[in-house]
Amino acid sequence: MASLSVTIRALTREALYLDVTVVNTRDRDIFVAAVLFATDNTGIRDRDPALLFAARGSGDRVVVGKWVPTPPEGRKFESEPVPYFAKLKPGERWENACGLPLPVTYFGFYGPAPTPLREPRMLPSLGFNLGILDSARFPPGAGVIVPSMASPPDAPWECDSGFGKELQEFLTSEIALPAPGIPSLL
């Protein structure tokens, strides 16, 4: 296993700030989805280690986190926005400070985005998902994950999107929010 801890650092009217910690308790290397891309209104992508996906889960649940996104069935892309990864050897720890703008709205690479609610609802909790790749599951000789030339120094690895979607595991956590919760349009 690998352990995931998500704690609330601060809650303001504008954002929920989280501290995320992963400890690799496995006997082999794992790779953690560490840095996502923000895309500006002109289509330019920029790395943002504090950025989180936000999406509707099952039922009324809202899930935030970092993972290798899966495009809708039958949709192909020339350049998929796969996150950069941090490598953790056995016993190593990874920490990340994240921010979630409020009210919570959909953020993902593949749409369409769900229709937002007309009025914000208050969420008493959030699901947190973090994608990881376990090196023990890599097919021999496959280029599942490789050093990246243009990556940030704290997350210097990139994965093949096909292998990433196929081999990704999730570390999950439930984040209990202080009353009355946080506003969400999801």
- Consecutive 10-residue runs of the chain (186 residues): their mean pLDDT? 95 98 98 90 86 91 93 64 93 98 90 85 97 96 89 87 92 96 96
Collapsing DSSP to helix, strand or coil, 107 comes out as strand
Closest CA relative to residue 27, chosen from 82, 80, 79, 91: 91
Apex CA 53: angle with CA 47 and CA 57, to 5°? 165
What letter would DSSP give residue 73? T
Q: What pLDDT is stored for residue 79 in this prediction?
A: 58
186 close to 105: Cβ distance less than 8 angstroms: yes
For the record, the structure tokens of 84 come out as 């950069």
Q: What pLDDT is stored for residue 77 in this prediction?
A: 56
Collapsing DSSP to helix, strand or coil, 186 comes out as coil
Q: What pLDDT is stored for residue 64 in this prediction?
A: 98
d(CA 18, CA 14): 13
pTM: 0.92
Query: Where is 163: in which H helix or E strand?
Result: helix 161-167
Conformation bin of residue 170: beta by default, left when phi > 0, alpha when psi is -120 to 50: beta
Q: What pLDDT is stored for residue 71 in this prediction?
A: 74
As beta bridge partners, residue 184 has 104, 121
Apex CA 105: angle with CA 64 and CA 167, to 5°? 30
